[in-house]
Amino acid sequence: MMSYHIRSVAALFMLACDASAKLDYQEPTKNLAHSYAGQLAHRAKSATVHKSDIEEYAKMVQVDSEKGLSFYWSVDNRVLSARMVYAGKAWLGFAVEPQGEHTDKLRVVIGKPKSKTVNKYSVTGNDWKHASKRGKHHQTLLHAKIEQTEDSTIMSFKKILQEDDEIAINPNGINKFKFVIGKENKVHNPRGSFTLKLDLSTNAMESKFKDGASSEDKAGSMDKSAAKQAAAKQAAAAKEKAAKNKAKAKDKAATKETVASKDKAAAKDKAATKAKAETKAKAAPEDKAAAEDEAVP
């Protein structure tokens, strides 16, 4: 009997460690006052990883069926492509947590439906309400956006795996991700918070898109597309700037020509006035002599 019990425990332990098929996550209790103070009580569940039904992503998992939160992702050696889908209207948050160690400050991604922005922030503890936006040089997310319908909120972005002053995402091992659902569209303390341990190496080896391209090929293609769009935008901006400079130069030349024409006319008038004065001065002695001749009896 003891031997059977030991084997059962061992089997359960192996099942729990099978990260390629299951993900463990933690859900805070409904007593949010305690969760905000950092006194979190958790209950463990498991969630099955499925092949994504969205072409852009390789895998998906239903993070919480009760709250209707799902996570889609694909990964290559450089970028994590992520998508959070929530069956409701709220702001959404995402973070990479350290493995095993505790930290009071997290580098997070927050999507704000009201302003339709997705940016990086710093959060102390669980105080998401007072999250501070990171500097411009830290805003490195690609294709970041948040959208809402009448009954859902979708946040998507591409994040570089290794960045300065941030916890690196391991494409060949287990990562700890945190997902947050707000109470409403305005950023306040969250309604729910969930932590998942996800083995990205399984995704990198097994994931294929419906069109047969690997996640690395797909991400590379998206990177090229983004670069092409950026180049086109830059070329358009340069063309517009050149047109403005040309128009400015034309206006400047016209102004210069007008000034030159006025100066020429003024010089001509001045020369005419001078010639007239010289003629008058030359004629004055002759007129005087003629007048004197007439005066002699």
**Mean per-residue pLDDT, 154-179:** 93
Range among 71-80, 183-192, 215-224, 262-271 with highest mean pLDDT value: 71-80
**Model pLDDT, residue 186:** 85
Q: What is the pLDDT of residues 46-92, one digit of tens each?
A: 567 888 999 999 998 888 888 899 999 998 879 999 999 999 999 99
70 versus 249: which is more confidently predicted?
70
Residue-averaged pLDDT of the chain:
75
Highest mean pLDDT among 7-16, 35-44, 45-54: 45-54
- DSSP 8-state secondary structure symbol assigned to residue 32: H
Per-residue pLDDT at 259: 80
CA 82 – CA 27 distance, rounded (Å): 21
Query: Which of these ranges, 11-20, 54-63, 276-285, has the smallest mean pLDDT?
Result: 11-20
Say how far apart CA 128 and CA 95 lie, in whole Å: 12
Residue 98: Cβ within 10 Å count: 10
How far apart, in Å, are the Cα atoms of 148 and each of 2, 68, 92, 111? 55, 14, 11, 11
Look up residue 67 and give its two tokens: 């709250």
Q: What is the 3-state secondary structure (H, E, C) of 148-210?
A: ECCCCEEEEEEEECCCCCCCCCCCCCEEEEEEEECCCCCCCCCCEEEEEEEEHHHHHHHCECC
Look at residue 71 in the predicted model and tell me its pLDDT. Answer: 94
pLDDT at 118: 97
- If one compares 34 and 97, the residue with the highest pLDDT of the two is 97
pLDDT in tens, 89-118: 999 999 999 887 777 789 999 999 999 999
How sure is the predictor about 202, in pLDDT bands with cuts at 50, 70 and 90? low
**What structural domains does the chain harbor?**
2-212 (2.60.40)
User: How confident is the model at residue 19, as a pLDDT?
Assistant: 39
Range 165-193 average pLDDT = 88
Contacts with 85 (C-beta within 8 Å, 6 or more apart), sequence order: 69, 70, 71, 72, 152, 153, 154
User: Which range, 48-52, 55-59, 233-237, 246-250, has the best average confidence (pLDDT)?
Assistant: 55-59
**Whether the model pTM is above 0.75:** no
For residue 40, name the pLDDT band (cuts at 50, 70, 90).
very low
Closest CA to 180 of 131, 115, 136: 131
